[in-house]
Amino acid sequence: MKKQQFRVEDMHCVNCALRLQELEDTLPGVKSVHASYRTGKMVVEFEEAKTTNDQIIQAVRKLGYTAVIDS
């Protein structure tokens, strides 16, 4: 299980963070998503065998946001 932090700076309200958390239900292999509007960050816990950082970034883009890996 991998835990990766992303920067999602274009969230404009708490509801955006709630929408991103829905990835828990829609993206295969994702165990948990914790998105915070306050910090503009999203932490995703996922199985590397089932999904990748790029797939997560794509899924975020489909929701209308831009995710960047936070090093």
Partner 1 sequence: MPELLVAFITGFTTGGLSCMAVQGGLLATSIANQIESDITARAGRNPSRGFKIGLPILSFLVSKLIVYTLLGALLGSLGQVLRITPLAQAILQFAIALFMLGNALRMLNVHPIFRYFSFEPPASVTRFIRRKSKGETTFLTPIMLGALTVLIPCGVTQAMMAAAIATGNPLTGAGLMFAFTLGTSPVFFALAYFATRLGAMLEKHLVRITATVLIVLSIFAVDTGMNLLGARFTLTRLASNLIPFGEVAQLPTAVQPAADGNLLLNVVDKGYRPRTLHAPANLPVTLTLVTDEVYSCARAFLIPAIDYGVILDATGEKTVQIPPQAKGTVLPFTCSMGMYTGKIVFDL
In the block, residue with structure tokens 């936070």: 70
The yes or no reply on residue 7 touching partner 1 (CB under 8 A) is no
CB of 13 to partner 1, least distance (A): 5
CB nearer to partner 1: give 54 or 62.
Answer: 62
**Cα 1 to Cα 45, 47, 62, distances in angstroms:** 7, 5, 24
Is 49 strand, coil or helix? coil
The yes or no reply on residue 12 touching partner 1 (CB under 8 A) is yes
Q: Give the footprint of partner 1 on residues 32-71 (CB under 8 A).
A: 32, 34, 36-40
Residue 42 in tokens: 């999203």
The yes or no reply on residue 22 touching partner 1 (CB under 8 A) is yes
